[in-house]
C-alpha cells in the first residue's frame, strides 16, 4: 500500500464560513447525482467460473501451507522432507497458473484494529505427512469434479491437470511416509461388441464405465469429433503395439507389466473405435504395425507413450462438453500415475506441455 502524505494542518475557520462551505458541498453533490448516504462499495459477487477458480486456488494454498508446516517436524526422513518441499512448490505454481488470490481493491473494515490484542496462544504443532496426503487427495477429488462440470473449457483443462498432479503427489508422499494413500483411479472402457452411442449435446448414459474415487458412472464425452475418435484409436493402438513388441524382448516382472499395459491400451482402442462407430470400417485407422518411438529402456518407452496420451486427454477435456468429461479426466489422472509408476519426474501440470519449465 502506498504511503499517504501526512495531512497539512489547517487553521480553524469561523463557524459561519464552515456552515456555508457545508451547504455548498451538499448542493454540489446533489447536482452531481451523488448522495451523501451512498453506501460504500461492496465486494462483487463471483460468477460460477470465478467460484471454481477461487476454490482451486484455496485448495492449492491449503496444500502449500500444510506441506510447509509438515517440513518443520523433527526427525523427518530426508526423502519425505524433499517431497514435501516439492509439493509446496508445485502448489504455489498451481496458484500462479490459476491467477492467484482474488483481490477486489476494496479496503476491509478497520474495526478489528480497535479490538484489544488477543492473548498469545501456543504455536500449533507441525502438520503430519498423513494430513498433507489427505489434503492433496481432497483437493484432487474436488478438482476432478470441477474439471468435469465447469462450463469453461480452458479452466477445465487446467484444473484437470492440477488434480492429476495432486493425485500423483498424494500417492508419492503416502508411499514415502508409509501412510494410507488415495484410492486409485481406474477407467474402464466398454467391452468389444457393446452397443455404442454417438456423442450427444447433453449428458446421456453410455456403456463407458469408470471407477473414480466417487465410484459414479461416467458418460461418453460429448463433443468428440470423428477426427478425435480416429486420433484416440490410433494413439491407443499404437501404444498397444509398441508395448507388445517391447515385452517380447523383455522377461520377468517388466514383461508382465508391459503386457498388462499393452492389453489396456488395446482394449481402449477397440472401445473408442466402437464408440465412434468406426470399428471395422474404412474409417478405422488401426494398422498391422506402427513405428515405435526410440527408447533405450522400457521405462523410457512407457513414459514417451503415456506423455503423448496424457496430452491428448487434457486437450479433449478442454474441448468436450461439461458434465461429460469425467472419463477423459480419469484417463489423464491414470496416465499421470502411470508415468510416476515408471519413474518419470513428477510434473506440476501433467498433460500441459506449454507449462513445462
Local confidence pLDDT in tens for the 357 residues of the chain? 444 444 443 334 444 444 544 444 444 444 555 454 566 666 667 788 999 999 999 999 999 999 999 999 999 999 999 999 999 999 999 999 999 987 766 665 544 455 555 566 778 899 999 999 999 999 999 999 999 999 999 999 999 999 999 999 999 999 999 999 999 888 976 544 443 333 333 333 333 333 344 444 557 899 999 999 999 999 999 999 999 999 999 999 999 999 999 999 999 999 999 999 999 999 999 999 999 999 999 999 999 999 999 999 999 999 999 999 999 999 999 999 999 999 999 999 999 999 987
Q: Which residue from 175, 171, 140 is spatially nearest to 63, judged by alpha carbons?
A: 140
- Delimit the CATH 1.20.1260.10 region(s) of the chain: 186-345
Question: What's residue 201's pLDDT?
Answer: 38
The C-alpha angle with vertex 126 and arms to 86 and 134, in degrees rounded to 5, equals: 60
Does the domain at 186-345 match CATH 1.20.1260.10? Answer given as yes
Cell of 58: 484455496
Distance CA 221, CA 271 (A): 13
From 3.90.320, 1.20.1260, 3.30.300, 1.10.10, which CATH number describes the 49-102+126-182 domain?
Answer: 1.20.1260
| Cα 12–chain centre separation | 61
Burial of residue 139, with CB atoms counted within 10 A of its CB: 0-12 exposed, 13-18 middle, 19 or more buried:
buried
Q: Assess contact for 105 and 60: CB atoms under 8 A.
A: no
Separation CA 218–CA 271 (nearest Å): 14
Amino acid at each position: 500500500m502506498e504511503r499517504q502524505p501526512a495531512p497539512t494542518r489547517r487553521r480553524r475557520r469561523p463557524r459561519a464560513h464552515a456552515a456555508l462551505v457545508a451547504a455548498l458541498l451538499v448542493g454540489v453533490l446533489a447536482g452531481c447525482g451523488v448522495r451523501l448516504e451512498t453506501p460504500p462499495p461492496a465486494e462483487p459477487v463471483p460468477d460460477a467460473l470465478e467460484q471454481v477458480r477461487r476454490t482451486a486456488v484455496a485448495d492449492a494454498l491449503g496444500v502449500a501451507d500444510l506441506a510447509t508446516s509438515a517440513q518443520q517436524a523433527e526427525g523427518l526422513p530426508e526423502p519425505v522432507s524433499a517431497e514435501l518441499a516439492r509439493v509446496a512448490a508445485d502448489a504455489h505454481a498451481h496458484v500462479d497458473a490459476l491467477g492467484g488470490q482474488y483481490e477486489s481493491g476494496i479496503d476491509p473494515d478497520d474495526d478489528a484494529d480497535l479490538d484489544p490484542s488477543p492473548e498469545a496462544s501456543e504455536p500449533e504443532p507441525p502438520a503430519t505427512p498423513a494430513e498433507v496426503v489427505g489434503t492433496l487427495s481432497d483437493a484432487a477429488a474436488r478438482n476432478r469434479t470441477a474439471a468435469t462440470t465447469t462450463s469453461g473449457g480452458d479452466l477445465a483443462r487446467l484444473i484437470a491437470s492440477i488434480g492429476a498432479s495432486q493425485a500423483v503427489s498424494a500417492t508419492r508422499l503416502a508411499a514415502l511416509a508409509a501412510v494410507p494413500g488415495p484410492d486409485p483411479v481406474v477407467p474402464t472402457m466398454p467391452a468389444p461388441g457393446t452397443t455404442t452411442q454417438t456423442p450427444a449435446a447433453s449428458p446421456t448414459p453410455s456403456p463407458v464405465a469408470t471407477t473414480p474415487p466417487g465410484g459414479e458412472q461416467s458418460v461418453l464425452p460429448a463433443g468428440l469429433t470423428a477426427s478425435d475418435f480416429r486420433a484416440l484409436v490410433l494413439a491407443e493402438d499404437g501404444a498397444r503395439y509398441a508395448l507388445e513388441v517391447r515385452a517380447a524382448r523383455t522377461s520377468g516382472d517388466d514383461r508382465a507389466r508391459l503386457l498388462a499395459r499393452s492389453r489396456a491400451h488395446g482394449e481402449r482402442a477397440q472401445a473408442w473405435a466402437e464408440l465412434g462407430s468406426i470399428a471395422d470400417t474404412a474409417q478405422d485407422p488401426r494398422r498391422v504395425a506402427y513405428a515405435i518411438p526410440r527408447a533405450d529402456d522400457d521405462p523410457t518407452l512407457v513414459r514417451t507413450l503415456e506423455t503423448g496420451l496424457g496430452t491428448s486427454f487434457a486437450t479433449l477435456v478442454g474441448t468436450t462438453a461439461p458434465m461429460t468429461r469425467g472419463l477423459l479426466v480419469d484417463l489423464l489422472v491414470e496416465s499421470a500415475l502411470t508415468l510416476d509408476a515408471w519413474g518419470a519426474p513428477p510434473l506440476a501440470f501433467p498433460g500441459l506441455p506449454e507449462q513445462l519449465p
